[in-house]
Amino acid sequence: MDIEILGRALTTLPADDDHPYRTGPWRPQTVERKADDLAVIGEIPADLDGTYLRNTENPVHPAMEIYHPFDGDGMVHVVGFRDGKAFYRNRFVQTDGFRAEQESGRPLWAGLAEDPAKSPTQTGWGARGRMKDASSTDVVMHNGVALTSFYQCGDLYRLNPTTLETLGKASWNGQFPSEVGVSAHPKLDERTGELLFFNYGTDAPYMHYGVVDAKDNLVHYIEVPLPGPRLPHDMAFTENYAILNDMPLFWSPGALAKGKYAARFHPDIPTRLAVIPRRGQTSDIKWFEADPTYVLHWVNAYEDGDEIVLDGYFQQDPEPPAGNGTLYQRMFRFLDNELMGPQLHRWRLNMVTGLSKEEPLSDTKSEFGMINQQHAGLRHRYSYSATTKPGWFLFNGLVKHDADTGIEEKYLFGEGVFGSETAMAPRLGSTGEDDGYLITIVSDMNHDVSECLVFDARNLAAGPLARVQLPERVSSGTHATWAPGSMIPDWREHDHPASALDL
């Protein structure tokens, strides 16, 4: 393995740091590396072709008062596969906030668990305002580049999908809604090349929905009126519709009037689901009511006759009790899937009658589900979810769910080993929905190493086909995506997978 140091971030974190989400599996990285011809235990399939991209939170400065793990600066990791070999890169997303704090050598924005009024910098980004847009939540591909995003809205930063060089912000030919930004989970339709997105804030109409075409033009943008400020996190789409939501977990209006942001669950208010024709107007929105819950992530949606079928994770307890634990245990209970109890769930929305039906699909507590993205917006059979360590925001295993039979296949990483959101990579020439590979990065606390694991999607329980050795232990994080080589410009035209664009 040939390793080269590309850069280092200035960090002011204390050497004796004891914060639970800046140590252990969440220990941040400050060094940017490139490594080629990675060592492999097992064999990388020759028909695995593309890049696995993963976003992580990597703080370089201490919080003003209380650090929340979602405050960390975005760092993207890429493991690229071509012709049975693999390479690795990791780079900070060069956001405006990251560059400003690197220049000042100190934090300039209050974080999620802090009072935004105490921010030294009175301008910022996001639905809350005055926050730093860390661009550390999601990463998706669109129009040949990777886009990173922030869960409370902000800019979309454009990255080269092989070198991870920051290429600036998405502008959509001057039409980007910079006054509001874009939320964490824009959705790519691989068949049309369209990117569907939403944003939200504290001012009426509280939400917008839009469509960007395959050439980066903002071709559709409408208001989605809500009763008040809400906390939507994800969306879904079908061939003809987009699905947004109004969940009964949102900022307390009384606290918000005082400039405070405290999320509260209202079990007496139903979940509301909005179905919009993909190029429809505000007047075309159809609302459906369902049992009160909070859905952090959707898996997929598709059309079935008169119905929209929508799969996601129904939380049994969106606001777990604070209890009598430590400050960190009370504050981070919203990161504990054991307490919130998300389970795979299905909603059926009848476009003719306006009625909804719903049912649980699994009793396994899981989240962060992915599918074969060639089936996004179409009927799917298989989903791949993460199971989590009780008490922590850490992924300790995978579960493959068969929606047709209800059968689940599971794989646990092992004690002290934690993974990332698992992407499904269809193999070259694939002929079936699960004809491909599952890709995830794991961090082994027992041996202080990280590996990228490659599984046969049709035989998860057999364990990894390949364990690709990475040059440093990777910090835990949030979302990931698979970018097939066919989506990456010039991918097949050079001797080395990244040689055309290396720094």
Q: What is the pLDDT of residue 344?
A: 98
Question: Alpha-carbon distance 324 to 64, whole Å?
Answer: 25
Q: What is the pLDDT of residue 194?
A: 98
Q: What is the pLDDT of residue 493?
A: 61
Question: Alpha-carbon distance 51 to 76, whole Å?
Answer: 12
% the chain with pLDDT above 90: 86
Q: What is the pLDDT of residue 303?
A: 98
Range with the poorest average pLDDT among 46-50, 114-118, 387-391, 400-404: 114-118
Domain count, the chain: 1
Give the contacts of 330 (CB within 8 A, at least 6 positions apart).
Answer: 322, 323
Q: What is the pLDDT of residue 114?
A: 87
Alpha-carbon Rg for the chain, nearest whole angstrom, is 21
What is the DSSP pairing of strand 241-246 with strand 249-251? unpaired
Q: Does 496 score more than 50 pLDDT?
A: no
Q: 205: cis peptide before it, omega within 30°?
A: yes
Residue 500 lies inside a defined structural domain of this protein: no
Q: What is the pLDDT of residues 212-235, one digit of tens each?
A: 999 999 999 999 999 999 999 999
Residue 235 lies inside a defined structural domain of this protein: yes
* Type of residue found at 461: A
Closest CA to 199 of 249, 149, 251: 149
- Give me the mean pLDDT over the 435-458 stretch: 98
Residue 29 lies inside a defined structural domain of this protein: yes
Q: What is the pLDDT of residue 495?
A: 41
Residue 292 lies inside a defined structural domain of this protein: yes
Residue 21 lies inside a defined structural domain of this protein: yes
Residue 146 lies inside a defined structural domain of this protein: yes
Mean pLDDT, the chain, integer: 94
Q: Does 153 score more than 50 pLDDT?
A: yes
> Would you put residue 461 in left (φ > 0), alpha (ψ -120 to 50) or beta?
alpha
Tokens at residue 436, please?
């491909």
- Tokens 């504050």 locate to 331
Parent domain of 98: 2-487
Q: What is the pLDDT of residues 54-66, one digit of tens each?
A: 999 999 999 988 9
Residue 89 lies inside a defined structural domain of this protein: yes
Q: Does 184 score more than 90 pLDDT?
A: yes
Number of Cβ atoms within 10 Å of the Cβ of 405: 8
Q: Does 201 score more than 60 pLDDT?
A: yes
Q: What is the pLDDT of residues 336-388, one digit of tens each?
A: 999 999 999 999 999 999 999 999 999 999 999 999 999 999 999 999 999 99
- CA angle, corner 367, sides to 437 and 130, nearest 5? 115
Q: Does 494 score more than 80 pLDDT?
A: no
CATH of the domain at 218: 2.120.10.30
Q: Where are the beta strands (DSSP E) in 330-422?
A: 342-350, 356-365, 367-370, 382-388, 395-402, 408-412, 417-418
* Type of residue found at 287: W
Q: Does 502 score more than 90 pLDDT?
A: no
Q: What is the pLDDT of residue 497?
A: 43
Q: Does 246 score more than 70 pLDDT?
A: yes
Question: Alpha-carbon distance 468 to 475, whole Å?
Answer: 16
Q: Does 326 score more than 90 pLDDT?
A: no
Q: What is the pLDDT of residue 105?
A: 96
Residue 382 lies inside a defined structural domain of this protein: yes
